[in-house]
Structure 1
């Protein structure tokens, strides 16, 4: 596979995503160009239906583009087969969702261990790595609590620990504060900013909330399936 002449961690080049055919055809993305470098914290903003979630699904290898190219570390992802895309997703991409997506009947530690089970790690190594991830998000003392015993903010911290436990190249966060109150939202954003700053974790976040986007280095605004503009949050000058 030919590599792209670009040192970005991820890059979209004229990416189009089409759903349906004929009269039912809908263009979710219309020639999108943008890139994210290692260590950046970037927010995607825009109204519902603007293409943000479609971008995240393609980046996370949960969906495939129609035209254009998505490069991951210079490799054209469209040239990967399904199994290779699954390995890319499993080994290099961490996901954090609005709804936490924790298993209710398992402890915080067992939830964090889940990606390591898929990797086939033994129990001792899973325990070590999951506890280290929980310590990173300040929940080491809550490892044996179930989701029902945790606040919304704590549940999202567990979800972040689960995303971090595989040491991903990039964290994709889709409305990570959407189910939280203002105080818990600020706690989660401060944690993500700290992980970005101290662990050099690359983060791409979708959000509708301008005050949450202020934590990022750069904001990319989407309108009608296209990049409308980019801006640097106030205070980042």
Structure 2
């Protein structure tokens, strides 16, 4: 018997507000995501892609429908249980990097483990491994101001990876980068998906979406279509 998808959305709706002012952001989203997939989520403003990502990241709950993660129905969990799931299984990467300016790359990457109460030795070793995964261990002692935009985003990805998440959620991860740096980040995300991490990325850039294995197009609160990415490979 084949393994169940890592993530399943069935009939997901999300309504904001009540009465005449109510707005239905999602109108019955069905989506399955396999373990280790690299998924680009695209769509115009107001299409429902960000609302869906918030639900997938356990930052919000659906109004109706079923959200399964590792065969657990997430919509039935308590707020504390969803928070535990988020901390244990999910990592987040943002367009703005969100690094602390006066701390080193290593210290920035250590932060999630500091909040979890890990020992100093364990934090340092895990942060060094994570920086090594993104090719930035030699820059561990540098502050964000001493790093390029692409390097800062790599630090942010290392921070998201330090707790060994099953899923990496990236919101416009190349939005603040030039084309060359953007391609570097896309190649890194593709490599992470090949290692078994499931990567979910919101992007408005077609060129960046082509790096994904699966592209999900949203429109008017629904999945409009799902297509295969072009799986771009760099000759070398």
SS in 2 for 1:48: coil
Q: Deviations over 1:75-121 (max 9, x none)?
A: 10111111110000000001011111111111111110011012111
TM-score when scaled to structure 2?
0.95
Q: Give 1:27's aligned residue.
A: 24
Deviation at 1:48, TM superposition (A): 1.0
Deviation at 1:234, TM superposition (A): 2.9
Question: Is the 8 Å Cα contact of residues 213 and 231 (structure 2) preserved in structure 1?
Answer: no
Change (3 A) 1:98 1:14: same
Residue from 202, 211, 228 that aligns with 1:232: 228
Instruction: Tell me, in whole angstroms, the C-alpha distance in 1 between the residues paired with 2:164 and 2:82.
Output: 17
Q: CA-atom RMSD, angstroms?
A: 1.3
Find out whether 1:81 has 2:39 as its counterpart: no
Instruction: Tell me, in whole angstroms, the C-alpha distance in 1 between the residues paired with 2:152 and 2:139.
Output: 10
Q: Give 1:117's aligned residue.
A: 114
Instruction: Tell me, in whole angstroms, the C-alpha distance in 2 between the residues paired with 1:7 and 1:119.
Output: 30
Q: Deviations over 1:41-68 (max 9, x none)?
A: 1111111111111111111111111010
Instruction: Tell me, in whole angstroms, the C-alpha distance in 2 between the residues paired with 1:118 and 1:7.
Output: 32
| 1:88-99 equivalent positions in 2, closer than 5 A | 88-99=85-96
Q: Deviations over 1:103-143 (max 9, x none)?
A: 11111111100110121110001000000000110100111
Q: Give 2:136's aligned residue.
A: 139
Gapped regions of structure 2 (runs ≥ 5): none
Instruction: Tell me, in whole angstroms, the C-alpha distance in 2 between the residues paired with 1:146 and 1:91.
Output: 27
Q: Deviations over 1:156-213 (max 9, x none)?
A: 000000010000011111110011000000000011111111x211111111011111
Change (3 A) 1:123 1:65: same
Deviation at 1:235, TM superposition (A): 5.0
Q: Alignment length, in residue pairs?
A: 231
Residue from 206, 226, 235 that aligns with 2:202: 206
SS in 1 for 2:9: strand
Find out whether 1:47 has 2:44 as its counterpart: yes
Change (3 A) 1:222 1:6: farther
Instruction: Tell me, in whole angstroms, the C-alpha distance in 2 between the residues paired with 1:226 and 1:178.
Output: 24
Question: Is the 8 Å Cα contact of residues 6 and 74 (structure 1) preserved in structure 2?
Answer: no
Instruction: Tell me, in whole angstroms, the C-alpha distance in 1 between the residues paired with 2:156 and 2:211.
Output: 19
TM-score when scaled to structure 1?
0.95
